Amino acid sequence: MLRITVCVSGGGTNLQAIIDQLQAGRLPGVEIAAVISNNRGAYALERAAAAGITGICCSPKDYASREAFNDALLQQLQETGCDLVVLAGFLVAIPPQVVAAYPGRIINIHPALIPSFCGKGYYGLKVHEGALARGVKVTGATVHFVDEGLDSGPIILQKAVEVRDGDTPEVLQRRVMEQAEWILLPEAIRLIAQNRVVIEGRTTRILPESGSGEGADAE
């Protein structure tokens, strides 16, 4: 069983996509250990409660220093007993001690085709504002492993989404969510649960489904 802890800050539509896939039986071997939010008012926590999942608030505001918060976040994660940390709209820089404790075991969804519109300052609507300001005709979403850098870890999955004339950041954000994010994030979790994602340096290789015949000995 792959136990995942999902970290959220806001609306939690990506969390919902995972819950929906789980409830539909399309994520065999996966269970959500807990949902952690840095924001007590996050609607994502209500989604967790509605699905009967433990919700935990771990806010920097409740700690005297950033370091104390970072330690607390690591402790909370460890207490959930998870194998994989899933960042689903978590607007907190992941502290080095957390990355070190979960090497190759933290994934993030980013609403652009990395390495475009990623890194410092590119979060939430700002990503889509950047894409529209640059006039790209195609954007999308990326699921990647988290390393010490910002949006710099090995890419697992990407999906392109077209930009249309007249798009606003909000309209584009919604299309990227519907056509890419809500599909890719559960899919990445499914692949990891099936042990099909191999990290090779800065890249990943996706192994074929066992029994699919692909890659099987032709003898």
Q: What does the binding site for ligand GRF look like in residue numbers (CB under 6 A)?
A: 8, 10-14, 44, 88-89, 109-111, 124, 177, 181
Q: In the chain, where does DSSP find H-type helix?
A: 13-23, 43-50, 66-80, 96-101, 125-134, 169-176, 182-193
Q: Which is nearer to ligand GRF, 55 or 89 (CB)?
A: 89
Annotation says 144 is catalytic: no
**Under 8 Å between Cβ of 8 and 37:** yes
* Closer residue to ligand GRF (CB): 102 or 122: 122
Catalytic residue among 16, 47, 110, 177: 110
Nearer to ligand GRF, 1 or 93 (CB): 93
Length of the chain: 219
Could you give the CA distance from residue 71 to residue 77 in angstroms, rounded to a whole number? Answer: 10
- Rounded Cα distance between 147 and 94, Å, is 9
The DSSP secondary structure of 105-148, one letter per residue, reads -EEEEESS-TTSS-STT--THHHHHHHHHHT-SEEEEEEEE--S
Q: Is the peptide bond before 115 cis (omega within 30 degrees of 0)?
A: yes
Return d(Cα 204, Cα 197) in angstroms, integer.
7
Nearer to ligand GRF, 89 or 186 (CB): 89
The least CB distance from residue 17 to ligand GRF, in Å, is 8
CB of 38 to ligand GRF, least distance (A): 12
Q: Least CB distance from residue 197 to ligand GRF, whole Å?
A: 19
Q: How far is the CB of 95 from ligand GRF (least distance, A)?
A: 18
Catalytic residues: 110
